[in-house]
Amino acid sequence: MIRISHLEDQPFALLPYKNAAPKNKGVQRNLLPVTAGRWTATTDVDQWLLASDLQGVALSPACGVDVLLGEALAEHAVFASWWPPGFDPACTGVLLAGDLFSAPSADVRGASGDVTDVWDAFAQQFACVVGVAGNHDLFDVPNWKRLRHLDSTCRLLDGDVATVGGLRIGGVSYVAGNPRRPGRIETDTWLGRLRAVVAADVDILVLHEGPTDARGKQGSLFVNDVLDDAGFDGLVVCGHRHWKRPLLDRGHQVVNVDSRALLLRSG
């Protein structure tokens, strides 16, 4: 069973970015916290960077113009000096839990659009990247097929399992709900995909929206039911709804990386 054994109280970096203010009242400036921690995973790479809901734009350290926040974070893997000693993106995997788009002007909340450039940016800089699509993520058909069927270094999951970086990782893209709304899959269909992945004995389960609990950590009760019925004992990585404290222990652990990034090393 993979467990997160420690998370630092304070981030080691704060990446400035812009996103839409509430009710689309202009643009606000925020800081993306990048925090270190340790987990018990036995993996083929030195560490993993987990992130989700990177819905903003940030200055590219490579070209000096605004790009999607995820692209900027990936570029900072080689341009920034704030990473912990020994950090090497070529020996680091990436887990993405979805919602990586922002309107280019960063003034529209909940905008949806193509996030292929974010996936490609991480794939270019890091050893491997795997994850799911969020309800605001779009791909054209060729890129969806390409990312769904790449080799063990890059894989977009949707109801299936891949071995990436020595870990069995399963994932279900989008969220359950009314299929007439963007980024939502009919509930029974989505839950069927989730049950199939959970039954495949994965080390890590990546979802856009994860489970909930009674202590204010919002999520999906449907996910709770599936995980509890299956006796799931892996690690869940999710986003979609922000939790002030990212870690939840339900017997298995859930780590919510909405609007944050976590760098996890074994230990």
pLDDT in tens, 153-196: 899 999 999 999 999 999 999 999 999 999 999 999 999 999 99
Is residue 149 one of the residues assigned to a domain?
A: yes
* CB atoms near residue 79 (< 10 Å): 11
- Token pair 């083929």 is found at 44
Whether 256 is covered by a domain: the verdict is yes
Per the domain annotation, does 2 fall within a domain?
Answer: no
The answer to whether the pTM exceeds 0.95 is yes
- Residue 11 within a domain: no
Regarding predicted confidence, which is higher, 13 or 217?
13
Predicted confidence at residue 214, as pLDDT, reads: 62
Is residue 150 pLDDT above 80, yes or no? Answer: no
User: What digits encode the pLDDT tens for the residues 200-240?
Assistant: 999 999 999 999 986 667 999 999 999 999 999 999 999 99
163: in domain = yes
What per-residue confidence (pLDDT) applies to 40?
A: 96
Q: What is the CA radius of gyration of the chain?
A: 17
Asked whether residue 9 is assigned to any structural domain, the reply reads no
CA 139/CA 62 separation, integer angstroms: 24
pLDDT band at 25 (very low <50, low <70, confident <90, very high): confident
Q: How many domains does the chain have?
A: 1
40: domain CATH number is 3.60.21.10
Domain with 194, as residue range(s), is 16-266
Q: What is the mean pLDDT of residues 137-146?
A: 94
Q: Is residue 8 part of a domain?
A: no
pLDDT digits (tens, 9 = 90+) for 69-128: 999 999 999 999 999 999 999 999 999 999 999 999 999 999 999 999 999 999 999 999
Contact partners, residue 159, CB within 8 Å, separation at least 6: 171, 172, 173, 192, 193, 194, 196, 197
Confidence of residue 22 (pLDDT cuts 50, 70, 90): confident
CB neighbours (10 Å) of residue 102?
28
Say if 191 falls within a structural domain.
Answer: yes
CB 213 within 8 A of CB 243: no
Q: Exposure string (b/e) for 170-201, b if CB count within 10 Å is 16 or more?
A: bbbbbbbbeeeeebebeeeebbebbbebbeee
pLDDT at 26: 87
